[in-house]
């Protein structure tokens, strides 16, 4: 059940209620008080801020119960999630203060002109003399934002700012949100190319399929910095990492399990491709109209490619029709598609990764009693299968070795590195994938990615710790 944290500012009339009464009202309506601050004490009345942890469903019940109670005046309700977004979540920091004219003449004109000329004469110096070496653009057109769909570039910004925060906090990468007001493939490609000189890498985010495939392919071909569509490859890397460990827990082999992937969009296509590369032999890709079957004819090149793979099954049907007997279900589609009975048709020791955000394909509370391993994209359940485990470390590695691109061996190395953070001893149903706060994740992913980049010849620099 989704939880949220709200702050209730209430005024208590002491002749009519005690704080104990207020606490009882909140608790009976389903709220859990986590802290209390006295804003204005007083003999006859007082004002307090009460922080309450509450399910989304119970939030309005708590508010209504307080409003109805005589002696309590509800002054304000603030949602802590909205509070952390006030004014946006990131800013730009200069790397040194400008204290005097001397500083000014070096960081700005006239001194800066010599630096500009040096870069003009040798463009590679942009990596040492500008922010390029550590800066990534997080580019979206707002068309496939989480599982919310086409909500546009303004509404997409909080997610992109969140990605930028994670890049910085987890991997020290400076990332900047670029929310484009166009859905035109050519215009997006042109714009990203035009803004690329200042960036060391491009992270494409929440761009709907099938346009995202052409945008990524073309930008990768036409730019000499790494271009990585996070929803495709970041997600696939983390799914493969989680699956490698989950299969160890249930004692099954990747070569023999039957896997149903639901939602063959950006994330689903890349997951299927990576599963095939990792050795999967029984794959059932499913989208809205049912299974994509071997030998079928499909409108999108990526679906057609899947239909031509021998490992893809030839049996058609809806999700519920093809699910029986599956060892693994991977959902990257939309929330609320399956229930407990559907899961019970799967093979024993089932693994379910229900990753649609914010609402998974199956309610985790319903699923938990019926599966051996459950993963979701969310942070409020164990096994968070989220691309945040991948993108900070993969870009840290790619930037540090100035990789031209992020290739398949680099992605597979990243998946194995993430899986390896959980040791054999630690591995269990509740812990198949490390937490994003485990510092080993970025360190190991970075190392594995640089090693793979050097081995495959896409690194343009050998970082000092590899010399
Ligand atoms: N946990 C994680 O790290 C990630 C989770 N996701 C989640 O996966 C979902 C899909 O994301 P993207 O691939 O980027 O979007 P997308 O828009 O590229 O693809 C979604 C696909 O799901 C299909 N779909 C929609 N309803 C369906 C249904 N009822 N049955 C089967 N297929 C259905 C669509 O036709 C489309 O092909 C979203 O909910 C997103 O939040 C995406 C990336 C990372
Ligand atoms: C996690 C993520 O990137 C998404 O849900 O789109
Ligand atoms: Mg995304």
Residue 88 belongs to some domain of the structure: no
Give the pocket of ligand 2 (CB within 6 Å).
Answer: 146, 206, 230-231, 357, 377, 386-387
Return the ligand number nearest the Cα of 208.
1
Query: Same domain for 391 and 246?
Result: yes
How many CB atoms are closer than 10 A to CB 303? 21
CATH number at residue 365: 3.40.50.720
Give just the sign of the alpha carbon dihedral 171, 411, 234, 414: negative
Query: Same domain for 256 and 206?
Result: no
- Whether ligand 1 lies within 6 angstroms of the CB of 265 is answered as yes
Residue 314 corresponds to which tokens in the numbers above? 């030839």
Which residues, in sequence order, are bridge partners of residue 331? Answer: 262, 354
Query: Over the Cα atoms of the chain, what is R_g?
Result: 25
Look up the domain containing 418 and give its range: 230-467
Residue 93 belongs to some domain of the structure: no
Residue 95 belongs to some domain of the structure: no
- Whether ligand 1 lies within 6 angstroms of the CB of 239 is answered as no
104's CB contacts (< 8 A; 6+ apart) are 98
Nearest C-alpha neighbor of 329 from the set 264, 232, 258: 258
275's CB contacts (< 8 A; 6+ apart) are 239, 240, 243, 259, 261, 283
Interface confidence, given as ipTM, is: 0.98
Number of domains forming the structure of the chain: 3
Query: Same domain for 421 and 280?
Result: yes
Which residue's C-alpha comes closest to atom 2 of ligand 2? 146
Query: Same domain for 234 and 206?
Result: no
Question: Are 58 and 29 spatial neighbours (Cβ–Cβ below 8 Å)?
Answer: yes
CA atoms of 375 and 431, how far apart (whole Å): 10
Residue 92 belongs to some domain of the structure: no
Query: Same domain for 205 and 254?
Result: no
Catalytic residue among 67, 99, 108, 125: 108
CA atoms of 283 and 314, how far apart (whole Å): 10
Residue 124 belongs to some domain of the structure: yes
Residue count of the chain? 467
Would you state the pLDDT for residue 127? 96
The residue behind tokens 């229900």 is 354
CATH number at residue 42: 3.30.70.260
How many CB atoms are closer than 10 A to CB 460? 13
Would you state the pLDDT for residue 270? 96
Would you state the pLDDT for residue 291? 98
Query: Same domain for 387 and 263?
Result: yes
- Whether ligand 1 lies within 6 angstroms of the CB of 357 is answered as yes
Average pLDDT by consecutive 10-residue portion of the chain (467 residues)? 85 96 96 94 95 90 96 94 94 96 96 97 97 98 94 98 98 98 98 98 96 96 98 97 98 98 96 95 98 96 96 97 98 96 98 94 96 92 93 98 96 97 96 94 98 98 96
Would you state the pLDDT for residue 1? 59
263's CB contacts (< 8 A; 6+ apart) are 286, 287, 331, 332, 333, 334, 356
How many CB atoms are closer than 10 A to CB 3? 12
Residue 300 corresponds to which tokens in the numbers above? 């999108």
213's CB contacts (< 8 A; 6+ apart) are 232, 266, 269, 301, 302
- SS3 state of residue 267: helix
């Amino acid at each position: 059940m989704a939880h949220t944290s709200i702050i209730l500012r209430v005024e208590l009339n002491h002749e009519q209620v005690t704080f104990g009464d207020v606490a009882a009202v909140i608790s009976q309506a389903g709220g859990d008080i986590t802290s209390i601050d006295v804003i204005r004490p007083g003999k006859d009345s007082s004002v307090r801020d009460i922080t309450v942890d509450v399910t989304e469903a119970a939030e309005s019940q708590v508010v209504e119960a307080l409003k109805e109670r005589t002696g309590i005046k509800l002054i304000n309700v603030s949602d802590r999630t909205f509070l952390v977004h006030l004014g946006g979540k990131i800013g730009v920091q200069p790397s040194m203060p400008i204290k005097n004219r001397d500083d000014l003449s070096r960081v700005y004109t006239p001194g800066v002109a010599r630096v500009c000329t040096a870069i003009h004469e040798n463009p590679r110096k942009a990596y040492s003399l500008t922010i390029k070496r550590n800066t990534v653009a997080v580019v979206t057109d707002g068309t496939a934002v989480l599982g919310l769909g086409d909500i546009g570039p303004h509404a997409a910004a909080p997610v992109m700012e969140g990605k930028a925060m994670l890049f910085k906090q987890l991997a020290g990468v400076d990332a900047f949100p670029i929310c484009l007001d166009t859905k035109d493939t050519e215009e997006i490609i042109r714009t990203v190319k035009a803004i690329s000189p200042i960036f060391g890498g491009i992270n494409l985010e929440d761009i709907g399929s099938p346009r995202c495939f052409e945008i990524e392919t073309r930008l990768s071909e036409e730019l000499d910095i790494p271009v990585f569509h996070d929803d495709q490859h970041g997600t696939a890397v983390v799914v493969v990492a989680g699956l490698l460990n989950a299969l160890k827990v249930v004692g099954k082999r990747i070569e023999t399990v039957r896997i149903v992937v639901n939602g063959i969009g950006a994330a689903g296509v890349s997951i299927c491709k990576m599963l095939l590369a990792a050795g999967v032999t029984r794959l059932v890709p499913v989208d809205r109209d049912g299974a994509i079957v071997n030998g079928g004819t499909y409108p999108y090149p990526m679906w057609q490619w899947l239909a031509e793979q021998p490992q893809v099954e030839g049996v058609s049907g809806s999700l519920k029709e093809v699910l029986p007997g599956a060892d693994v279900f991977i959902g990257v589609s939309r929330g609320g598609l399956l229930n407990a009975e559907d899961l019970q048709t799967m093979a024993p020791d089932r693994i379910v990764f229900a990753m649609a955000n914010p609402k998974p394909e199956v309610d985790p509370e319903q699923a938990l009693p019926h599966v051996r391993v459950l993963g979701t994209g969310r942070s409020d359940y164990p096994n968070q299968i989220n691309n945040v485990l991948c993108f900070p470390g993969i870009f840290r590695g790619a930037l540090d070795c100035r990789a031209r691109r992020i290739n398949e061996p680099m992605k597979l190395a990243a998946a194995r590195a993430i899986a390896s953070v959980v040791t054999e001893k630690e591995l269990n149903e509740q812990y198949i994938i490390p937490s994003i706060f485990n510092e080993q994740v970025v360190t190991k992913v970075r190392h594995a990615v640089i090693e793979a980049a050097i081995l495959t010849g896409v690194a343009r620099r050998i970082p000092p710790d590899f010399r």
